Amino acid sequence: MKVAVDPDPSLVYRPDMEPEAAKDKGSFRNYTSGPLLDRVFTTYKLMHTWQTVDFVRRKHAQFGSFSYKRMTVMEAVDMLDALVDESDPDVDFPNSFHAFQTAEGIRKAHPDKDWFHLAGLLHDLGKVLALAGEPQWAVVGDTFPVGCRPQSSVLFWDSTFQDNPDLQDPLYSTELGMYQPHCGLENVLMSWGHDEYMYQMMKFNKFSLPPEAFYIIRFHSFYPWHTGGDYQQLCDEQDLAMLPWVQEFNKFDLYTKSSDLPDVDKLRPYYQGLIDKYCPGVLHW
């Protein structure tokens, strides 16, 4: 049975939104119109064609040794100055600003949870893969489980999966696919992208953040689950316990996007302190 999930987390709290600005909530995640729609649709069409069980397993093997680069967290943030996310219909500016916008939104709402602030800064750093030569359809965008039939809240699900070879497989094309009921999302093979890469990177480098931060990083782009309410047949008790944290994070990931860009130089010292506390030094990426 599908569990009802509030489709608009901002109904509880929308950070830094004045009443007049709040009227514009429908302008976020608009996948039906807008100047960036063609670019966005093309990215998802490629993603939904080529993200297969075999492809995801190959990417885990390719990047699982974390031998791509050695750098600090802040150096990775700076790399995102060169990246504009081709799957995002809301913004057309470098992803580094979005990292600070998200972190600052969380900091204002949850001043006592410094690990949560840092999660905001970290959440998209896996997108450095796009600067390592990976196509954006294998890095950005909403995630979904591979190895089972896509559910209806996956973006463009009815117009982009026709050429995915897994859907011709008699097992992978079923609702449960290769999974057991309520096996837990930790046992599900998600489409490859910045979420899974960054989660695995954090584990490899032994970040000292709490489990909630790891979970947020791993599943923050899994909109069909945390916002669409789908894939409940795969969830276990841990997933249901962690869901409110992912939904709380989503408010800031989504609704802090603005062309009013933060003064990054003023914010660096605070976030460098958090990096020194939870994930210091030169890391393996």
Percentage of the chain beyond pLDDT 70 is: 82
Q: Please report which confidence band the pLDDT of residue 92 belongs to, taking 50, 70 and 90 as the band edges.
A: low
| Report field, pTM of the whole predicted structure over 0.75 | yes
For CA atoms 221, 108, 93, 129, give the dihedral sign: negative
Q: Please report which confidence band the pLDDT of residue 81 belongs to, taking 50, 70 and 90 as the band edges.
A: confident
**What's the pLDDT tens digit per position in 161-184?**
999 999 999 999 999 999 999 999
d(CA 201, CA 283): 9
- Which residue numbers belong to the known binding site for substrate? 29, 85-87, 127, 141-142, 220-221
**What's the pLDDT tens digit per position in 208-262?**
999 999 999 999 999 999 999 999 999 999 999 999 999 999 999 885 655 667 7
136 SS3 class = helix
Short-list 104, 90, 119, CA closest to 245: 119
d(CA 78, CA 253): 19
Percentage of the chain beyond pLDDT 90 is: 75
- Which residue numbers belong to the known binding site? 29, 85-87, 98, 123-124, 127, 141-142, 194, 220-221, 253
Instruction: Report which residue type is found at 44.
Output: Y
- Which residue numbers belong to the known binding site for Fe cation? 98, 123-124, 194, 220, 253
